Structure 1
Amino acid sequence: MKLPSDSSLVELVKKDDHVAYTTLVDRYWEDLYRHIWLKIKNTDDAKDIVQDIFLGLWKNRSTLMADDRGSLAPYLFRAAKYNIINYFSRPSITIADETALDLAVNAISTTQADDQILLKELQQLVDSEVDKLPERLKLPYRLSRDQELSIKEIALKLSVSEQTVKNNITSALNAVRFKISKHNNSDTTVSFVLALACVLHCK
């Protein structure tokens, strides 16, 4: 028996078909959960994010669209990306993983072209705030962002532990994020979160 395509299920969901909606949930739940968990390493929060994605899908079903190939995957994994970005934008969340931290520091230069204008202005603002940081926070940030050194290389260069480097860069990111948020500009704040996010890669 041939399984229904995503595009056909989407059309049914637009007509408030709960069975079609459940089919999409069953089809993508596990892949979305695995993708999100690998990024945030928190089981309960990963499940919550997946649930939020599918609740959002149902809430916005009238505008739901499959891609040119008839797949809903790009929509769902894009939603996952932005939900993870929001997760890491929480003040209580720190970026502890080295790979994620490296991505967070260098993300501005790898963001897609349609964000470049906003991010150019944002980068100037970020640079200004970084310059105001204490030297112990500013130096490791600059070594990572400007010289593209790894956490290990920075630790060796500064004669400190790798954990200290991670802590200091995370503190720098959080401090700058807090300063930016005080500008009360929603577009800028969202762009800043995008720039610092450690998950700019959709499936």
Structure 2
Amino acid sequence: MFSYSALTDPDLFDLVKSEDEAAFKEIYERYFDVLYIHAYKRLQDKEEAQDVIQEVFTALWDKREYIILTSSLPAYLFTAVRNKILNTLSHRKYESSYIQSLQQFINKGICQTDHLIRENQLQTLIEKEIAALPPKMQEVFSLSRNAHLSHKEIAAELNLSEQTVKKQVNNALRILRTKLGLLIFLYLLFKNNF
């Protein structure tokens, strides 16, 4: 009776080339464990190590007609496993880098988005309260805070005294501080000074 286990690697591989599945099974059983241990030592992941070995043996079967062994079958298999391990490690590193980059982008985006939303809400609230000021006070305050004009420049533009302009700005700030609260008032007071 014929026994595949008694055949040499070159004889088995010749049979594999002629589509002998039993010869392929013998090679698989002969080298799976040692290749798996080698892959596991490098990858430290059972599933990845098993996937690497499966891919190597699948490629061996699929490309059997084109493979020319220039050295021994074990040398060919170990080289194929080593290359798959390097590909896996490279992919793992790339994937980790990509995930870190994506996480940083998400974190930064969430913070920026949250900050922009809060700033827009705050700005809308401030504009609403400024719009509720008496018209002349609103005009003086707008020239002071939005146009960045000095009290003297506002007084000249609106034909008012500097004292009146100063009083209007102070009154506007007092009203806004009462309505908006201290933190929003400080934001309003200092936002144009930075």
With normalisation by structure 2, the TM-score equals 0.45
More helix, by proportion: 2
Q: Which has the larger radius of gyration?
A: 2
Q: Which has the higher contact order (CA 8 A, sep 6+)?
A: 1
